[in-house]
Structure formats: structure tokens, C-alpha cells
Structure 1
Amino acid sequence: MQLYLYDERFKNAIENYELTEEQLCYTGHPKDCIKLSEEDSNRYSILALEEDKLVTFFVLHRNEGVKPYSNNNNSILLRAFSTGFLYQGRGYAKKSLMLLPEFVKENFNGINEIVLAVNVNNVVAQKLYQKCGYVDEGVRKIGKKGELIIMSYHL
């Protein structure tokens, strides 16, 4: 598996990326996320490909995007994390999260923390993030879709 910053060569893969209604309760669709990334130079759409198949998608958000979740000016927000419906349950989400710290170090100078917000009802995702080294430091926020647990990974 390899992580890539989005560019136009991945447009077809994004068009064919499938999420269920249940998944969309907790995350944004990559098409919408990419539009936001094109409008905001601090948002970066990231794709995880396994054998040329788009299996996982997420956004990294710097500066204003991370401020509601962290006081650390050197942090970056992981948001809109999803695994394509056809690829769930195969370990791709975990694999991409395990690759993320090195990817951040290589592509985002000065970042020393990855922050994420996970819905309190999304227990499966919480457990995944914990397995991958993210720590619940007790911070809670209210988001558009309910209470959020803020988790951090210190680089």
C-alpha cells in the first residue's frame, strides 16, 4: 500500500469510490472533500492505493482546520477518513493509518502531532485509532453529527 496526495490522475478512482449511507453518517464523500481541498490550500486530499485500487481516503487539514481541536500550532487534522465499501474488513484502514506518521513527516515539515475527531457512537473507528497509536486525552467537542472524541498521535 502507498499513500498519495490527490491529483487529476486519480479522478476516475474517486468517481468509483463507494461509501454506504451508514459510512456517510460519519464521514464526507471524497468528491466533496476534493472540492474543499481545491478551495483551501491548507486541506490535502490523501489516497491509499493497494495494487492500483483506491481503498482508503482521507483529508489532512492544517492551520485553521485543526485549531478547533488542538492548541498545538504544529499539529495537523486527520478528517473524512473512510475505507471504500468494497474493501472494508481487509485491514486497509489500519495499514493506511500505520503509514500515515511517516507520510506526514515526509510531506509536512514541522508537524509533530496528528489530531482527529471521532464520533462518540463510532466505536469501531475509536478502537481502530487506538490500535494504531492514537490516544484519547479526554477532550470532547460537539460537532455537526454529535459528540466527538478528540484523539492525538504524537510524532
Structure 2
Amino acid sequence: MNLTIQPLAKAHYAQLCELAVSEEQQQYVGTMEGLLACVSMDVHPHVICVNDQVIGFFLIDTFYGIKYDFALDNAIGLRGFFIDQRYQGQGYARATMVQFGTYLKSYYSHRENIYLTVNCRNPFARQSYLAGGFIDTGELYLGGAAGPQHVMKLSYA
């Protein structure tokens, strides 16, 4: 499996339109259109590719630690992580998480921690994050639109 993680580039845009999750999963990650609307100077888009085919997407929020009390001030946040529904169940989420710390060191070396929240009703996602080295902090974030969420953290310094 030739899986790579990359910052979003112009060459990826045509393939982004094809990415989607099931209707059930949209409550957790939203739509591609909604995620792209979040991109800013502070929120950076990234893609997950297999053999140059975009199969997933996520955002890195560089002000996450300032926005959320449960995160350290200098922490970044993972938002909107998903693997396209056509590629789910094939180990790509876990494979991405295994590479995640190394990838973050190369692009966000001035930071040491990344946080995320994962819905309590989404155990498969939680397991993928745990397999990739994230730890469950034991805290719950109650401000999510789809219900309570586990707070998870990865230190990659």
C-alpha cells in the first residue's frame, strides 16, 4: 500500500469533489463543501492518497489550543478527518494514523501535541485513533452538535 499524507494542492481539487462519507457519518464530519469552507490561514487542508488517488481528507486547526479549554495552549487540532466511503474498511484510516506523528513533525515541528474529539457513538473512529497512538484523555467534550465526544491527544515531539 503506497499511502501518503500531503498538504492539499491544486492538483487534488478535481478528486476532492468525488470524496464523501455515508449519510450516517455526515453528522460526525460534515460534507466536503462544508469542510472546505473552514479552510483559512489558521485551518490547513490535507489529503490522504493511495497511489496518487485522493482517498481521504482532514483539517489541521493551528488555533485549536486557544479555542478549546481541554487542549494545551500551543496544541493543534485535527478536524474533519475522513476516508471516502469507497475506501473504508480497508485499513487506510489506521495506516494514516500510524504515519501521522511523523507527518506532523515535518509540517508542524514547532508544536508538540495534537488533539481531536470523536463522537462517543463512533467507536470505529475512536479505535483507529487509538491504534495510531492517540490516547483518550478521559475527558468528554459536550459542545458537539452530534452529542458527547471523547477528547483524544497525540504527542509527537
With structure 1 as the length reference, what TM-score do the two structures score?
0.91
Kindly indicate whether the alpha-carbon contact (under 8 Å) linking 2:20 and 2:32 is maintained by their aligned counterparts in 1.
Answer: no
Partner of 2:104: 104
What CA distance in whole angstroms lies between the structure 2 residues aligned with 1:137 and 1:98? 19
More off after superposition, 136-145 vs 58-67: 58-67
* Percentage of matched positions with identical amino acids: 23
Aligned to 2:22: 20
Distance in 2, Cα, partners of 1:53 & 1:93: 15
2:43 corresponds in structure 1 to 43
Change (3 A) 1:23 1:69: farther
Instruction: Compute the RMSD of aligned alpha carbons.
Output: 1.5
**Alpha carbons of structure 1 residues 64 and 85: separation in structure 2 relative to 1, 3 Å:** closer
CA distance in 1 between partners of 2:74 and 2:65 (Å): 12
> In structure 1, what is the equivalent of residue 79 of structure 2?
79
C-alpha distance 109-86 of structure 1, shift in aligned 2 (>3 A): same
Q: 1:123 to 1:68 in 2, by over 3 A?
A: same
Query: What do the CA deviations read for 1:37-69 (whole angstroms, capped 9, x no partner)?
Result: 0xx211011101001111121111011576315
- Cα distance in 2 between the residues matched to 1:10 and 1:136: 32
Contact 1:74 1:111 in 2 (8 A): yes
Q: With structure 2 as the length reference, what TM-score do the two structures score? A: 0.90
Q: Secondary structure at the match of 1:151?
A: strand
Q: Measured at CA, do residues 33 and 66 of structure 1 come closer, stay the same or move farther in structure 2, by a change above 3 Å?
A: farther
Contact 2:64 2:76 in 1 (8 A): no
| CA–CA separation in structure 1 for the residues paired with 2:70 and 2:140 | 11
User: What is the alpha-carbon distance in structure 1 between the residues aligned to residue 31 and residue 69 of structure 2?
Assistant: 21
Task: Give, as a single letter, the amino acid of the residue that structure 2 aligns with 1:32.
Answer: G
Structure 1: runs of 5+ lacking an equivalent: none
Partner of 2:89: 89
Question: What residue is the counterpart of 1:151 in the other structure?
Answer: 152
- Structure 2 SS opposite 1:26: helix
Task: Find the counterpart in structure 1 of residue 58 from structure 2.
Answer: 58
Distance in 1, Cα, partners of 2:89 & 2:71: 34
Q: How many residues align?
A: 153
**Equivalent residue letter for 1:151:** M
